[in-house]
A and B are shown apart, each in its own frame.
Chain A
Amino acid sequence: DAGVTQTPRHEVAEKGQTIILKCEPVSGHNDLFWYRQTKIQGLELLSYFRSKSLMEDGGAFKDRFKAEMLNSSFSTLKIQPTEPKDSAVYLCASSRDGYAEQFFGPGTRLTVL
């Protein structure tokens, strides 16, 4: 079975740009998660979808971060406008049911200049 796919693997953006990150979950998984990973803050949850319904929106990330699940096999994370502090690795994960046993993708490394 294919794992979680994320594109692009690397993204460089200028401050103020809009970027869209993409994720394809494991086939048959109902739940999808977006995380941000930095050395300082570690792994932070941005969004959680269950069967395409938004369950968690990541609180502090609401204003410039918007995740969507267009269908059961594709999700996007839009950051608009980007700021240098958004530089991080963005991870997508999926699971059959809930937070247990998440399968993570390889991540997208975002650099905002």
Chain B
Amino acid sequence: QQQVRQSPQSLTVWEGETAILNCSYENSAFDYFPWYQQFPGEGPALLISILSVSDKKEDGRFTIFFNKREKKLSLHIADSQPGDSATYFCAASVNYGNEKITFGAGTKLTIKP
């Protein structure tokens, strides 16, 4: 059972555009949603996270939009740069990460200069 789904599997956008990565989940008890960024040959790195009590979280060019009713969230990368090319994982956990975290399959993002 895939509890956290990501779409699209891969995404290509031009430099300067906004990249939008989607995530949906099934377990309504999930309340903590981190996004991890992974470059080839490296481990994932925490990029930004949101709690279910919020509907938006911003950190520089990265913004999470969260819709609790629809069990959906999205990561927006504004003014995307070639250095943002990486795989992005949406994840979810219950009890603010005190219980096992479930990762999505990832979205591979390519930014064309």
Contact = CB atoms under 8 A, between A and B. Distances in A.
Contacts of B44: 43, 91, 104
Interface in B19-50: 32, 34, 36, 41-46, 49
Contacts of A102: 46, 101
B18 to A, nearest CB: 26
A24 B45 CA distance: 17
A63 to B, nearest CB: 20
B96 interface: yes
Give the size category of B's interface with A: 20 to 34
Contacts of A101: 34, 46, 49, 97
Interface residues of A, number: 18
A43 B89 contact: yes
Interface string B97-110: 11111011110000
B93 interface: yes
Interface stretch (A64-72, A73-81, A92-100): A92-100
A104 B105 contact: no
A93 to B, nearest CB: 7
A25 interface: no
B100 A56 contact: yes
A42 B34 contact: no
Nearest to A43: B103
A106 B104 contact: no
A103 B45 CA distance: 6
A99 B91 CA distance: 11
Given A45-B101, A100-B96, 14 more contacts: A4-B43, A42-B103, A43-B89, A91-B43, A98-B96, A98-B99, A99-B97, A99-B98, A99-B99, A100-B32, A101-B34, A101-B49, A103-B45, A104-B43
